[in-house]
A and B are shown apart, each in its own frame.
Chain A
């Protein structure tokens, strides 16, 4: 497809369950971002990849959160032992590349809405 694709679109998990969220960025996009968006809030940065390298994971809220992009394209965000406070929309974005001081446009996927019950 032409855009960023995320799956699943909706996920309901029981507290304590592990979940895996997938992101297919736009082909050829070097940069990949994960954001978490709580209801009524703007997206909050979680982590960033440049190709397969995870350059910044400072936004991951706890060690239960883990992200990978092993071949520099598809990325997976994994949340272990989910808690109710993890309920949010998880957005993935990709961009062609990032020049120093100037971002190129980031394109977002439609997100995965995670509800932990």
Chain B
């Protein structure tokens, strides 16, 4: 079983819609959680960290559910520029520098 699993999508949504997707992680000792964004043929870039209490950054909301070992990302009022692959990233306490990536969820926002 992979350490981090994501629904690959694609999620095709109209501008202005809300889209949400999850990722699950296998290591219950994981301490740090992130969402990275990767545009086609570009490098991953940090979108936001995910905190235990959940956090919001503009139109983006991240939630962490430790009991069920999943992380979610919700995008409100989608923009064309939100089209990208969103990578769920987790580390573990035993190797706190080792970031494990999911395969990514592809989101396409259409006009």
Contact = CB atoms under 8 A, between A and B. Distances in A.
Contact of B103 (A31, A33, A42): A42
B43 A110 contact: yes
Contacts of B6: 42
B73 to A, nearest CB: 15
Contact of A103 (B4, B45, B91, B103): B91
A101 B95 contact: no
Interface size class of A (residues with CB under 8 A): 20 to 34
Given A103-B32, A103-B91, A108-B43, A42 B101 contact: yes
Q: Is the interface of B mostly helix, strand, loop or mixed?
A: loop
A43 B90 CA distance: 12
A48 B99 CA distance: 10
Interface residues of B, number: 23
B97 to A, nearest CB: 4
Nearest to A44: B101
A22 B47 CA distance: 26
A98 B104 CA distance: 24
A43 B85 CA distance: 12
Interface of B: 4, 6, 31-32, 34, 42-46, 87, 91, 93, 95-104
Given A98-B96, A100-B96, A101-B31, 15 more contacts: A33-B99, A41-B104, A42-B103, A42-B104, A45-B98, A45-B100, A48-B98, A56-B97, A103-B91, A105-B46, A106-B46, A108-B45, A109-B43, A110-B42, A111-B43
> Nearest 5 A-B pairs (CB), nearest first?
A42-B101, A108-B43, A101-B31, A98-B97, A42-B103
